A and B are shown apart, each in its own frame.
Chain A
Amino acid sequence: MTYQTVGQSVARLDGIEKVTGEAVFVDDISLPGMLHARVLRSQRAHALITGLDVSEAMAQPGVVAVVTGRGLPRRIGACIQDMYPMAVDRVRYVGEPVAVVVAENPHQAHHALASIKVSYQDLAVVTDPWEASRPGAPQIHPDQAVYHRLPGIHPLPGSNIFHRLQVCRGNTADAFREAFLVVENRYWHPSIYHVQLEPHGAIATYHQKGGLTMYASSQAPYVVRHVICELLGLPPGRVRVIVPYVGGGFGGKSDHTIEPLLAWVARHVPGRPVKLVLTREEMACGTVIGRGALVHYRSAVSQDGMLLGVEAEVFLNGGGYGDFAVNIVTAAGISATGPYQVPNIKITAHGVYTNTPPTGACRGYGHPEVHWACERQMDIIAARLGMSPVEIRLKNALGPGKVNAIGQQMESHNGRVDLCIQQVVDALGGPECFLPRTNPCVGSIALEPGGIEADPLPHPTGANASPKAEPSGACAKPAAMPGKVRGKGIAALMKCPIMPTNAQSGAIIKLEEDGGVMVSVGAIEMGQGCHTVLAQIAAEALSLPLERVQVAPQVDTFHSPYEWQTVASHTTWAVGNAIRLAAAQLCDKITRAAAVILQVPAERLEVVGGRVQDRERPERYLTLQQLARGYTDARGTALSAPLIGEGNFVPQGLSHLDPETGQGNIAADWTFACQGAEVEVDTRTGEVTVLRLVSAMDVGKVINPVLAEGQIYGAAVQAMGAAICEGIVFDREGRIRNPSLTDYKVPGVEDMPELQALFVETPEESGPYGARGLGEHGAVCVPPAIANAIQQATGLEFFDLPVTAEKIIRAQQKRGVPA
């Protein structure tokens, strides 16, 4: 299939605005009479509020209002209504809003915070999801049984577990009894920050006639609107949410974060806009954090390396409120077997309340957490069997005809993980680089407790290694500096979007008076380039040159079409489908209008290159320009009306999961991929340098190769941070030890490895021009690929992220290798 615009690396539509400083983000907006808000945040992780006195703060210069949670009408939440926008009588994490000062300028607001007096009665604190799930743990939501929640959410009353998903297939008891080998480990992915460069911000005006207008740095204006409507008891038509450019989202600006809080605050100062922009330190505790999962993973394997069964328990940190994490629990549960067919499965995923900031969507959404376990486990299994990590993956890979954990059968258009694996292996130097580790051992292996890095296997290149483990040829290790060792690792993945079964995406295409079009969508441009890609899809569908297609850059709930939210890597797929539907409707209207004017049956007309023409006699045509505002004949009589096409899309055939077995049709499509890493480890300092990151992804048809590569590079480097340096550290009182970018190091340009993105393009039947999602996927498997490479380099097995220099040194010392 040849396309005109689809498949081209066209330049971003927002490029000029963004390189000149013209692009407007929330904090760049100033409204007349605007006030400024600052938040007093709890310094206690778990406490009852016994006193709150704001009178002194009210008297400070410039202060217009001090708002507390008193009088909040109801709890909010999209899945579980378990939170207030600010504390009412109890705080559940350090950073929870307790009071908000509104003042004429930000300094006055900040200054007045110190005069607010709060007294607390402390309660016991728990920040670890596994501990919090144990009987006897401090109860964080003693009344969770009464919370309003959507169907399909299964809390465990009397515990901190707010959702539990079970996935069961076959009979694992038999599988484990018959297994040649059982491998059991515990893996930990700590909580991380998203570190969007743009802090969360919003400006809200509560109108005196009732109703609210908000500018927000949000991925989810329709979710925000819904929650604000519920909170303030307003009809949707009275709440307007406008989203200008967003400076990075990565999931952390999805659902709702600071917006309901600011809506509540604005309610107290009707008629005056209030701006709230978080500081970098507040970003650590004042929005959502990502991940935070313990995975207990048990695999039953046959002698020839077939996965017979998997039993896994996932404990995902929900933080103080679980609303945002419910579907992450589901995502983790259904994808815990990775990109493999496993006949016997028993997975239980728990979402657990703790005293940390709430966990929200974070690029990968449950998948990186379980792939960290699954893909480390695969390497360990391969080693036990004396098998190559490549071979074991290829043997078990899902593919056409195979069945995934929730009972969905893969079709040939769903993509090919095997090809992705082969591409990464080839790019890293070929299968010789991934020879079996030596000294396989057989039988059941005792649990290696989480948090302890063990090295139960001999060093592949050490004294115990057989010559077989020394690669040669293309793969010979380049002469690393003395004291430095190199290794390569791979990890494969499957990711599906987790969405409501009726997740809506809409598009409106307006024919403009020059014959070009204006496309409106509800999808947010937050850097991923979706507006450019969507313009390409519109141009292709309408057979227009790209220059004639504009996409309205601001999303505005007053007139943008519905969009569930810009998450789940579903925009190209879902909104792209909506655009194709809208384009088809517009073309239909164009041909019907032209049929009247040209006196040609509509079926004989086609829209091509900015014209509508008679297929049989192409010299009979109208330009789209002639039709845009209504065609008039020689007498001035209008023969047609202005033309607008609309398209609305919901995924087809999705259903809720069976509550007992977790079987069902919840994933609309899958993207398969493999990622590989080459690392160098300094055995004296423990420092890891990632030399290369290679990703091969079956994204279906690539709409814009350069933008697609950019997504994968960005995701890979982000996840490299999670692999080797990132992780939020909580102290015993639940305070964050590393809230700033000085203490919490993210990869800088100097850390950038050689990056490579490869595409397998199996066209997706349900996607526009065969496209699938790809935005998050590059973040899913980098940590296990890097840890597998570190294993090959050093012989050390790691189960805890991040794999820091300190951990490597400690593990070496434990093994007795001189540092």
Chain B
Amino acid sequence: MPEKIRFTVNGDVVEMAVEHHQRLLDVLREDLALTGAKEGCGGGECGACTVLMDNEPVNACLVLAVEADGREIITIEGLARENCLDPLQEAFIEHAALQCGFCTPGMILSAKALLLRNPNPTEAEVKEALSGNLCRCTGYKSIVDAVLAAAEKQS
């Protein structure tokens, strides 16, 4: 039996009927055409599907759509405001903190959640916050540098 849910996605209120087994990731990618969240493993191992739920990073492949009811979701598409990139997005470009870009949306959102709760993180805190996000391309150095630079710029 489909269930009706109501949640906000990138600031817009969304009301829709979802199946109980439907994953938040599928609702975002298939029903809402927000394909920025990627599926790298479907099992909570890679973090490519990371989105923010009430400003906390979650693996959208492990969250059921019904769990998003009443929550506020932010995806990578909702991060840039009025054509203005988020400082994290700018820093990722500036520090070449992306290569293939498949991990990038998830990385940026995990970092966003960190900076929202801790605007001045240490390097160790950045690593801790990104520990659920795999990147096979960059070796992580530029990503950590970018997050620290964005934090510095914001403060």
Contact = CB atoms under 8 A, between A and B. Distances in A.
Contact of B127 (A11, A195, A707, A752): A752
B139 A755 contact: yes
Nearest to B100: A527
B118 interface: no
Nearest to B77: A21
Contact of B93 (A19, A246, A250, A750): A19
B130 interface: yes
Interface string B111-148: 00000000000000001101101111111111110000
Nearest to A526: B100
A717 B139 contact: yes
A706 B95 CA distance: 8
B127 A280 contact: no
B131 A748 contact: yes
Contacts of A195: 134, 136
Interface stretch (A129-137, A170-178, A196-204, A485-493): A196-204
Contact of B139 (A11, A18, A250, A716): A716
Given A19-B108, A20-B89, A197 B38 contact: yes
A12 B98 contact: yes
A813 interface: no
A612 B109 CA distance: 47
B87 to A, nearest CB: 11
A689 B48 CA distance: 26
Contacts, number: 165
A280 B80 CA distance: 30
Contacts of B152: none
Interface in B25-76: 29-30, 34-43, 45-46, 48, 75-76
Contacts of B130: 749
Given A21-B77, A21-B105, A740-B41, A197 B98 contact: no
A251 B141 CA distance: 23
Interface stretch (A22-30, A504-512, A617-625): A22-30
A20 B36 contact: yes
Contact of A197 (B37, B46, B93, B144): B46
A190 interface: no
B46 A21 contact: no
A64 B114 CA distance: 46
Contact of A714 (B30, B99, B104): B99
Given A15-B93, A16-B93, A197-B38, A742 B43 contact: yes
B140 A717 contact: yes
B85 A16 contact: yes
Nearest to B96: A706
A751 to B, nearest CB: 8
A737 B76 CA distance: 35
Contact of B77 (A20, A245, A528, A740): A20
B35 A24 contact: yes
A710 interface: yes
A248 B102 contact: yes
Contacts of A194: 136
A746 interface: yes
Nearest to A249: B100
A196 B36 contact: no
Given A20-B80, A247-B102, A280 B75 contact: no
A741 interface: yes
Given A197-B46, A740-B41, A752-B140, A20 B79 contact: yes
Which of B76, B93, B136, B141 has most A Cβ within 10 Å?
B136
A718 interface: yes
B131 A750 contact: yes
Interface in A582-623: none
B94 interface: yes
B24 interface: no
A713 B43 contact: no
B151 to A, nearest CB: 16
Contacts of A277: 39
Given A247-B101, A248-B100, A280-B45, A25 B140 contact: no
B134 A746 contact: yes
A28 B35 contact: yes
Contact of A527 (B35, B43, B89, B137): B137
B101 to A, nearest CB: 3
A197 B136 contact: yes
A555 to B, nearest CB: 15
Given A740-B41, A741-B45, A714 B96 contact: no
Contacts of A197: 38, 40, 46, 48, 100, 102-103, 134-137
B80 A707 contact: no
A198 B144 contact: no
Contacts of A12: 93, 96, 98
Nearest to B95: A706
Nearest to A283: B41
Contact of B89 (A19, A23, A741, A748): A19
A466 interface: no
B89 A714 contact: no
Contacts of B75: 21
Contact of A752 (B38, B133, B144): B144
A709 B117 CA distance: 32
A279 interface: yes
Contacts of B7: none
B1 to A, nearest CB: 16
A196 B41 CA distance: 11
A14 interface: yes
Nearest to B88: A19
Contacts of B80: 20
Nearest to A713: B139
Contacts of B105: 19, 21
Given A196-B136, A197-B48, A713-B138, A749 B100 contact: no
A319 interface: no
Contact of B137 (A280, A714, A741, A752): A714
A25 B39 CA distance: 11
B138 A280 contact: no
Interface string A356-396: 00000000000000000000000000000000000000000
Contacts of A706: 96
A704 to B, nearest CB: 9
Contacts of B99: 248, 527-529, 710, 714
Given A30-B30, A710-B139, A749-B131, 19 more contacts: A14-B101, A15-B98, A18-B104, A19-B92, A21-B75, A24-B35, A25-B38, A194-B136, A197-B100, A198-B100, A247-B102, A248-B99, A279-B42, A528-B99, A529-B99, A714-B138, A741-B43, A749-B135, A750-B128
21 contacts: A9-B96, A11-B96, A17-B101, A20-B36, A21-B34, A21-B35, A195-B136, A197-B48, A198-B100, A247-B101, A248-B136, A250-B136, A277-B39, A529-B99, A710-B137, A710-B138, A718-B139, A740-B41, A742-B45, A750-B127, A750-B128
